[in-house]
Structure 1
Amino acid sequence: MESRLQTTVLSTHPERPAICREGCELDALIQLKTPPLAGVSKQRKPVAIAVVIDRSGSMAGPKLKAACAAAQQLVRQLTPADRLSVISFDDQVRTVVPLSAPSEAAITAIGRIRSGGQTALFDGWRVGMESLLQAEELTGHQKRVVLLTDGQANAGLTRRSEVAPLVGQANEQAISTSCIGLGEDYEERLLTAMAEAGAGNLVHLTSPQQLEAVFTAELEGLNLTLGRDLRLRLNLAEGVKLKQIHNPLEPGADSWIQLGALQAGITPTLAVRLQIAPEDQSQEQVRDLLTVEAQWIHVNDQPEQREAVMRLPVVEVEEWRALPVDPDVQREVLLQQTAKQRRRAMEELDQGDSTQMLYSVQAALHSLDQAQSSPEIDQERKLLGELLDLISTNKLSLARKVMGTQSFMRARGRKLRNQEGHDDF
């Protein structure tokens, strides 16, 4: 059930080691196992980061101070081979640090950023993106825009339908975008659309004190990146239907499912449920169920692909029911289902049904009651408990932001953070 090439392995993991001749439903994981962190060369590929900081009036005080301190710390973590630009925006966009190697001059310039007026969010992103796009010396660099904002985009382009395609075009030119929303007032739908189109991360922070850790995590993620534009496609055999994708993800019009970046030490996982028709007159002992394709662009800009086939024995119903169920598959399916419950709760809140939204979060928490304890399950209980606390105190806008970022990151196999920005609780 595996296809191995070099050190990255695409594999399928069914919850039971066989299928039922009389027909059955079967949960399964599709995983792309990357090299362990210890196997990653210490001679990392250089990075080029455009940090785009909201300096609108609402950022005045501790938030802007923390943002500048985090950007300054990022400069100190870069190597001479790396490149950095810093852009600030209110209703006007300013290039605080032109694209250059890290320097004390850059640190000083960042410290001079002051708050201003409205929020030309897209224009700030565009200038940061163009600083990376137009630089001729970045052929060998991994490129990312890191956008930080605390407010609503109210100048320049503001619609998701206008902004997301342009972010997607930048991603096609190897410039990814991560979005950091700070506080309770930013437009999370816009940031989600940008992070999704830009194949980056989506982070919500209640407290600016975690900005430094988040900026550091962005750099570490780039350091561990093995490829971009990771996508999966399922080709089902005759008599097999895809009943459900447990991750809160949808296939595109071309049937590919987008997962973003491929990083060392991270195992992108798609959890699915298959519906398998009964065998008619066949007495097959083994049956091919599906073929999985994986594609991505390697850091050397060369296309990579893998293929794996799920092939399982066919047994009678009594034997099938007696087979053990893989707890790892059960756990991942449950975690992705709770992520999908978050997305459902967000939709219910958008429709004005806060009662049903509360029920969806409670149902997600109750679904963990019979789950075997593990670090992932215990973390999930804490996250859902925090969400219920927010809802019970009528902090619905904040709850929506937290649910959105957690659902986004879980679907793509990335670290989840609590509302204060911690990922190690």
Structure 2
Amino acid sequence: MGDPPIELLLLTERPVARNDEVTEIDAIVEVRCRSTESVGRAAHAMNLCLAVDRSGSMSGKKLETVKRSCGDIYRRITGEDLFTVVIFDDDAHVVINPQTPRDQVEERLAAITPGGMTNLSLGWYQGLLELQTHMETHHYSRLILLSDGQANAGETKKTTLAGVASAARDEGITTSTIGVGNDFQEDLLEVIATASGGKFWYIDESGIENIIEEEFQGALTVALDSPTVELSLPRGVTMSRELNSLRKVSRRYRLRPLKGQDTFNFAVRLEIDPTRMNAGELTLGATLYDGGRRVAGTEQSVALAPLPDVTRAPVHPLVRSVVEQFEAATTDERTVKDLDESNLSGMRKMLTAEVARFRAVEESLLAGSGGPDGDRYGGEIEHLAWHRSANEVSAAIVDLVQPYPAEPAVRILLSRLRKGVVHKFGLKNARQYGSSRPDDDVQLGLLVEAIGLADVLIAAFPDDREALESKREKLREYLARFAQ
């Protein structure tokens, strides 16, 4: 018999806890999807909206690529799907909606021209309104928001935008955001995507078509559109710390939509008081829902034992990995702050420490990869290795530019590095498992620009040639790794 299409696991860092005093134990919930096709695709069509920045900076190749991508998607949707295109600059306009005659779609797309300023919030709000207008219970709603510029009009407060995104998610609307080039406000796009359960993409203009296609394909393979998880804790067990950034709705953790081939996990820290229990073990439970439908349930028993038995029990590598990644997301937040405050020395130390921690977790996963869950361990190792390598790239770039803070080219590269860090933070925060080719392209772009900057610095500071050449060689090694 094959594996079930949806598997729910509840794992604890150790199979035992102390029986003589109050202690804490970490646990993770993991959802594994193995379906190659959307569950119930025939019964759940798409309600899809593309909200596109058409401000003046989008003129030329960028806007033409988006228009072509919109046309490609429209030609591939089914008769049950709903399709909307909103364009915005300092105003917002609906150019295509589900009632648009099919023979007018191409003409309306071709008529889109560049405009003026960038009222990002207005364009997004208009897209949400259109989706809400056409929303029905048998559709799942997706919005793709693309911008290449600064939001210089409309709402720009992150907390306000996050609140709107979260409320839209409660209604069943997920927004993914695409930041193009080097001028967009990554903080706004990241918070919109994360709060609504989508993904934040950072690309140069050559990658627009690929990202829109990947988002469209992801929408076609939805396995769980509105997944939530509820934990069941026995008497004597309480929540000590939420090792995740998930929102709770009616005691259930709200997850992002899960695709047909997807893994999602999150961690919690529990406090166990053995004096409030009568038995020699306790049982934790977790239940997975999709909307109001129960999908799966699982339980995990934890024995109560003396301290020597607890210390001898091995730590579960997957639990350790998920907890470490949550802590690493806070490192990314501090890294952004260090970049904003030009604290490059502190940033480099923090990144170096995180690289060492990730290596230790990778080693523990490798040691346990020979068991029945070996494929999952291998995937986790690759996942961790990507984030570790991305941190190594950031540290190497900081090492290169730290002695030359006043150079204009250095400030430009650090601005791009900030976008890369926010992109990586978005992957962790949304618990995006694994990486895609566009994620690699972010690191490749940073490395190519850094290597070019090294050449400029060698010419400008010949006395530093030896040190700069050594740093440039390290950057080339990382470039070869990501280019594989």
Task: Tell whether the structures are fold-level matches, with TM greater than 0.5.
Answer: yes
Tell me if structure 2 keeps the 8 A contact 1:20–1:314: yes
Cα distance in 1 for partners of 2:97, 2:483 equals 34
Cα distance in 1 for partners of 2:483, 2:261 equals 17
Between Structure 1 and Structure 2, the one with more strand by share is 1
1:185 aligns with 2:206: no
Give the alignment's TM-score, normalised by structure 1: 0.83
Give the alignment's TM-score, normalised by structure 2: 0.73
> Which region of structure 1 is more displaced relative to structure 2, 52-61 or 323-332?
323-332
The CA deviation at 1:118 is 0.3
Secondary structure of 2:126's counterpart equals helix
Q: What corresponds to 2:441 in structure 1?
A: 420
Q: What corresponds to 1:152 in structure 2?
A: 150
CA-to-aligned-CA distance 1:320-377 (integer Å, 9 cap, x gap): 3333333333333333333332123224445554432332222221212332363223
1:410 aligns with 2:428: yes
Q: What corresponds to 1:199 in structure 2?
A: 197
Within 5 Å, give how 1:62-77 maps onto structure 2: 62-77=61-76
Tell me if structure 2 keeps the 8 A contact 1:210–1:421: no
Secondary structure of 1:29's counterpart equals strand
Cα distance in 2 for partners of 1:148, 1:242 equals 39
Evaluate the alpha carbon distance shift between residue 304 and residue 237 of structure 1 in structure 2; reply closer, same or farther with a 3 A threshold.
Answer: closer
Within 5 Å, give how 1:207-356 maps onto structure 2: 207-234=204-231, 236-247=233-244, 249=245, 256-277=252-273, 279-280=274-275, 284-288=279-283, 290-292=284-286, 294-297=288-291, 302-304=292-294, 308-350=298-340, 353-356=343-346
The CA deviation at 1:176 is 2.1
Tell me if structure 1 keeps the 8 A contact 2:35–2:223: no
> Which region of structure 1 is more displaced relative to structure 2, 391-400 or 34-43?
34-43
Evaluate the alpha carbon distance shift between residue 236 and residue 40 of structure 1 in structure 2; reply closer, same or farther with a 3 A threshold.
Answer: closer
Tell me if structure 1 keeps the 8 A contact 2:143–2:176: yes
Cα distance in 2 for partners of 1:83, 1:89 equals 20
The CA deviation at 1:246 is 3.9
Tell me if structure 2 keeps the 8 A contact 1:75–1:107: no
1:98 aligns with 2:97: yes
Tell me if structure 2 keeps the 8 A contact 1:80–1:101: no
The CA deviation at 1:48 is 2.0
Amino acid in structure 1 at the alignment position of 2:354? A
Evaluate the alpha carbon distance shift between residue 367 and residue 335 of structure 1 in structure 2; reply closer, same or farther with a 3 A threshold.
Answer: same
Cα distance in 2 for partners of 1:58, 1:212 equals 17
Tell me if structure 1 keeps the 8 A contact 2:145–2:178: yes
Q: How many residues align?
A: 411
Larger Rg: 2
The CA deviation at 1:212 is 1.9
Q: Unaligned 5+ residue runs, structure 2?
A: 367-380, 402-409, 444-481
Secondary structure of 2:384's counterpart equals helix
Between Structure 1 and Structure 2, the one with more helix by share is 2
Cα distance in 1 for partners of 2:71, 2:159 equals 33
- 1:387 paired residue among 366, 391, 394: 394
Amino acid in structure 2 at the alignment position of 1:216? E
Amino acid in structure 1 at the alignment position of 2:265? T
> Which region of structure 1 is more displaced relative to structure 2, 100-109 or 310-319?
100-109
Secondary structure of 2:359's counterpart equals coil
Secondary structure of 1:16's counterpart equals coil
Tell me if structure 1 keeps the 8 A contact 2:38–2:222: no
CA-to-aligned-CA distance 1:22-61 (integer Å, 9 cap, x gap): 4554332212334532684664732121111111122223
Cα distance in 2 for partners of 1:337, 1:352 equals 22
Q: What corresponds to 2:113 in structure 1?
A: 114
Tell me if structure 2 keeps the 8 A contact 1:335–1:380: no
Evaluate the alpha carbon distance shift between residue 80 and residue 251 of structure 1 in structure 2; reply closer, same or farther with a 3 A threshold.
Answer: closer
CA-to-aligned-CA distance 1:245-301 (integer Å, 9 cap, x gap): 444x15559665432223333232112333445x4597742123x44454441xxxx
Q: What corresponds to 1:397 in structure 2?
A: 415
Q: Unaligned 5+ residue runs, structure 1?
A: 1-5
> Which region of structure 1 is more displaced relative to structure 2, 163-172 or 118-127?
163-172
Tell me if structure 2 keeps the 8 A contact 1:12–1:308: yes
The CA deviation at 1:420 is 2.8
Evaluate the alpha carbon distance shift between residue 8 and residue 17 of structure 1 in structure 2; reply closer, same or farther with a 3 A threshold.
Answer: same
Task: Return structure 1 stretches of 4+ with deviation > 6 angstroms.
Answer: 422-425
Q: What corresponds to 1:367 in structure 2?
A: 357
Q: What do you get for the CA RMSD once the two structures are aligned? A: 3.4
